Amino acid sequence: MSDQAAVRRIAHTRGANFSLGFRLLPAAKRQAVYAAYAACRIPDDIVDEAGDGADTGEVERRLDAWVSEIEATYAGRPGLDATRALAAALGHAPIPKGALLGLVEGCRMDLRIRRYRTFAELERYCELVAVTISDISLAIFGTLRAEATRHGRSLALALQLTNICRDVGEDAERGRIYLPLAELEAFGVAEADVLAGRVDTPGYRALMASECARARSFFVAANPLPSCVARDARTAVRVMGGVYRRVLDRVAADPVRAWSHRTELPRWQRLWAVTAGILGFEFA
């Protein structure tokens, strides 16, 4: 399997929601996005697949090795399928090395931090694991105006907060709670109940309504983004944002079920998200 085929397969199998938009990019940008997506998955998988009983020091060493691989790639010496594909993409797009390294630091936070007291603390985490990916993506898409960075940040936060709302149950099984603890307390929701799945309560429903509303506000703030990127990337951006906005809507409609069942879009809704993106509809 070629390097390009390997990263394309990762994007299609591991990033089904994103890949709907990826497919709508012109060939060179599509291949660069596949390579970047694979490179972003690697440090995340190093942490998530290690498991609770893993030797933290060993996980850190694996992340260090990945940092070394990124440095080698930017020096012209890639050694893996994903980084060889990334090196090829660098010939077409100025993908910022600092964003890839920042993502690694965000992944390291998952080794040390399992709770966030306030949204401000959570936002810093999101800056590292999500806004970095926006910076990478915009470098590939091409930007027309400086405010693309600001609107890209809003979309990145919207996507990450959607993931957090969708994955409360999966994260709880790993002993993690990303919902800010101060907000749990404000709605009378106990950490232990979130971890155990005792979430069929008015307090949890109200908490999740608030969390989903915040994520939706970031989608609204991101609405100008497509007009700030190159014309041949606008539909892809609209589709990626639109797919996630619809995932968020499904979580908001039944957050209790979302705790125990991963929220996926039915085929008709995925097709509608693509159609809406092609027609130029806003995110929210």
pLDDT at 2: 75
Q: Is the pLDDT of residue 85 over 70?
A: yes
Q: What is the mean pLDDT of residues 100-118?
A: 96
Domain that includes residue 230, residue range:
113-284
Answer for the pair 143, 229: CB distance below 8 angstroms, yes or no.
yes
> Where a domain ends, among 66, 92, 112?
112
DSSP tag of 215: H
At residue 151, does pLDDT exceed 90? yes
CATH of the domain at 183: 1.10.600.10
* In a shared domain, residues 215 and 141: yes
Read off the pLDDT of residues 12-33 as tens digits, 9 standing for 90 and up.
677 567 677 888 999 999 999 9
Q: Are residues 47 and 135 in the same domain?
A: no
Work out how many domains the chain is built from and give that number: 2
Q: Average the pLDDT over 114-136 and give the result.
A: 97
Q: Which residues of 123-152 are buried (b: 16+ CB within 10 A; e: fewer)?
A: bebbbbbbbbbbbbbbbbbbbeeeebeebb
pLDDT digit string (tens) for 275-284? 999 999 999 8
Q: Is the pLDDT of residue 142 over 60?
A: yes
- pLDDT band, very low/low/confident/very high, at 230 (cuts 50, 70, 90): very high
Question: pLDDT tens digits, residue range 43-67?
Answer: 999 998 877 667 889 999 999 999 9
The residue among 92, 112, 132 that closes a domain is: 112
Distance CA 258, CA 246 (A): 14
The pTM for the full model equals 0.94
Find residue 143's DSSP bridge partners: 229
Q: Which pLDDT score, from 0 to 100, does residue 239 have? A: 94
Residue with structure tokens 């960075």? 149
pLDDT tens digits, 152-211: 999 999 999 999 999 999 999 999 999 999 999 999 999 999 999 999 999 999 999 999
Domain's final residue, options 79, 112, 145? 112
Residues 6+ apart with CB under 8 A from 138: 148, 149, 152, 229
